[in-house]
Structure 1
Amino acid sequence: MNQFNQRNAMDANESAQLQRVLSDYTYALDVLDKYDHQLLEIENTTAENLFVITYETAMLAINGLRDRFGGSALFGNEKDDSFQGSLAAICQTFGGQYLYPSVEEKAAHLLYFVIKNHSFSDGNKRIAAFLFVWFLEKNNLLYGQDGRKRIADNALVAFTLMIAESKPEEKEMMVKVIVHLINSKN
């Protein structure tokens, strides 16, 4: 095979690889494009809430995490009433309608509020990340029909740190990004 034919064969192989990557990540690239153009909207979400998180159930879950993270009295120790406010906010209604009507919106706001309100002496990001995935699991959204996790560990870390580092004026966009990354399209 001459050099020209080898180059064309390599180009065909590279083209096939490029098409595969584009095909596999089309949704993610579309989300980034919509983010760049400030066009993200809440869509493809789950309306039926199977589980409503309460302060009591959340605190039981947090207390269960304490041993996992060394048993420190500071882990999950509430500094004020802001955690109760975070939980109340995700179930808030106006005119008889939920402010955050979908499970995904509630989950994204739960993650955001628990991180940003910094309600605990220690463990805010870990608690927020755990409550986020636990809430999704209780609402049958954490695992796909094939039983695999819909949110990889590295994605959970990235979501959590992205919110922790975000500015307050970016809240709505952060929530929209999270919703897009956990909605039924993913």
Structure 2
Amino acid sequence: MLGNLEQTVFGEPAYPSIESKAAHLLYFVIKNHPFFDGNKRSGAFLFVDFLHKNGKLLKLDGQPLINDTGLAALALLVAESAPQQKETLIRLIMHMLQQND
């Protein structure tokens, strides 16, 4: 699943930015159910870990980009969404992540 983030389409990255990769990682883990249980928790953990490893977890003022309550709400939003809403959710997550730039 993590390898999916490095896919290319006609030689170009399918997910060209850290924000795009993070948004898709959260979505894929939650919606594709790779585990019997704990997909929302695992997706949230991987999302935060990915952001941390790429220097995007904290705002410029040192505060976390998303708090625990917001992360739980975001994971539930993704989990309860219809497949047709995928692109809207990805854009929403990316927009939230780009507020730090």
- Interval of TM-score (by shorter of Structure 1 and Structure 2): over 0.9
Aligned CA RMSD, in angstroms, stands at 1.3
Counterpart for residue 60 of structure 2: 145
Distance in structure 2 (CA, Å) of the matches to 1:157 and 1:124: 12
Structure-2 separation of matches of 1:185 and 1:141 = 8
1:154 equivalent in structure 2: 69
Name which of 34, 44, 49 aligns with 1:119.
34
> Structure 1 length as normaliser, TM-score?
0.52
Q: Deviations over 1:100-142 (max 9, x none)?
A: 1000000000000000110111211100000001000000000
Instruction: List gaps (5 residues or longer) in structure 1.
Output: 1-85
Residue type matched to 1:107 in 2?
Answer: A
Percent of paired sites with the same residue: 51
- CA-CA distance at 1:95 after TM superposition: 2.1
Any gaps of 5 or more consecutive residues in structure 2? none
Q: Is the 2:65–2:100 Cα contact (8 Å) retained in structure 1?
A: no
Query: Larger Rg: 1 or 2?
Result: 1
Q: Tell me which residue corresponds to 1:96.
A: 11
SS of the equivalent of 1:140 reads coil
Paired residues, number: 101
Listed as ranges, the matches of 1:31-42 within 5 Å are none
Alignment deviations for residues 4-59 of structure 1 (CA, whole Å, 9 cap, x no partner): xxxxxxxxxxxxxxxxxxxxxxxxxxxxxxxxxxxxxxxxxxxxxxxxxxxxxxxx
- CA displacement 1:124-165 (0-9 Å, x = unmatched): 110000000100000000012332111111110111000000
TM-score of the aligned structures, taking structure 2 as reference length: 0.93
Give the match for residue 92 of structure 2: 177
What is the alpha-carbon distance in structure 2 between the residues aligned to residue 159 and residue 91 of structure 1? 23
| Partner amino acid, structure 1, of 2:94 | V
Tell me the secondary structure at the aligned position of residue 149 of structure 1: coil
State yes or no: 1:133 paired with 2:12: no
| 1:175 aligned counterpart, secondary structure | helix
Deviation at 1:185, TM superposition (A): 4.5
CA distance in 1, matches of 2:83, 2:36: 21
- 1:33-72 alignment runs, 5 A limit: none
The answer as to whether partners of 2:59 and 2:100 remain within 8 angstroms in 1 is: no
2:45, 2:14 → 1: CA distance?
23
Q: For residue 163 of structure 1, what is the amino acid of its counterpart?
A: V
